[in-house]
Structure 1
């Protein structure tokens, strides 16, 4: 069932980082559940969860529990946006999503957690590492650096250049280590 865990993690990171444009994040933060992008985001999560589990009927409770909890966690994050810093909310939000995935897997499957890195899961681990190194780490760095005013550098090109340079650097490091 480690394969299912890795697939669910991949679906989460794709849904929260790869298939959620910044425009959607801004819209969700400004108008919350009234934003059509909030509901697109939740729909994409459900779709990805169903896709990675190959629409298996036995996994429907896992998909529903993760998808519904994602909706609830995001709703709570929106409600708390004015009470806590965006940095704290971001990390708590991600930690809760990951905890839900691990809990759902633990409840529905008897997993031997010591065999997390089995050989047959090698490609899923590589794909997950790729997503984490490219999209997830870039967003994490943006959130962490958001407390400093970096707006005195003008132009979209500079923002994109830094993003791509960071992604390429992390991919090189990953490639050399691998």
Structure 2
């Protein structure tokens, strides 16, 4: 008997004991952010591995992990629970010591948290013995997932560079209307340090705007995009009115609508590939 291929469906592997994974993540969240006073963080950054609070902090992670493992997955034996908790304690201590020697910025923070989460995922797979399911889940990563990742990456730095190049013919006119700095080496705007800060802030705002707009397009929530643009317009209205600079106003509007148009186009292209364009025939 030959099985009809059209009736065969691919089953995506699912994890058992998902409540345990949530419990381990919750334990990490509590220990890292709620049960760690700022004074402990300061001592860790100053004394590194010699900071006594760092040992207490790692032990708290171990205790909460044992509680999560024991309560949320009773079938796991005590040896496995002990080894899992020990892995979390030692890894957390090492990762935090390494972080204490790094610059205390957002990059170090994100890398630190990713490292902790990777260890937690590894402990979860070890405790539940679901390595095969994890590999099977990775094998199910396909074109739709990669298209969404590509879309989000496209609306970040590539879009920022394209928008800057598209607006470059008018950038000179806008800067020409700004007061000249008292220092001969400074650009004809405000101080160099302030300009760099504002430039980075504007870039981050643009990233967040486009990420939100792309998310709304993929969720078919175009009204939320209108709300986002309206909210930005309200915040910028006071600044533009204060400067009373028509060229600056036109420049800001041109940049905003270029960003919106580009993000919507990327979102619609992504939706077309995924097969759920917000257009009814």
Give the TM-score normalised by the residue count of structure 2: 0.37
- Structure 1 position 65 matched with structure 2 position 87: yes
Offset, 1:35: 1.7
1:100 correspondence with 2:119: yes
1:24 to 34, 40, 53: 40
Structure 1: how far apart are the matches of 2:93 and 2:33? 16
Task: Classify 1:93/1:36 alpha carbon distance in 2 versus 1 (closer, same or farther; 3 Å).
Answer: same
Corresponding residue number in structure 1 for 2:130: 110
In 2, the alpha carbon distance for the partners of 1:106 and 1:52 equals: 15
Map Cα deviations across residues 10-59 of structure 1 (whole Å, 9 max, x no partner).
Answer: 11111100100111111111111222211111111111111222285032
Structure with higher Rg: it is 2
Q: How many residues align?
A: 112
Q: Within 5 Å, which residues of 2 pair with 1:46-57?
A: 46-54=62-70, 57=78
TM-score (norm 1): 0.56
The unaligned stretches of length 5 or more in structure 1 are 115-147, 149-178
Query: Shift of the alpha carbon at 1:71?
Result: 1.2
Question: Any gaps of 5 or more consecutive residues in structure 2?
Answer: 1-16, 72-76, 138-196, 198-281
Distance (Å, rounded) in 1 between the aligned partners of 2:55 and 2:43: 11
What are the residue-to-residue correspondences of 1:1-178 with 2, within 5 Å? 1-54=17-70, 57=78, 58-79=80-101, 81=102, 84-108=103-127, 109-110=129-130
1:85 shift after superposition: 4.7
Matched residues in 2 for 1:85 and 1:67: separation?
22
RMSD: 2.2
Shift of residue 94, structure 1, vs aligned partner: 0.4
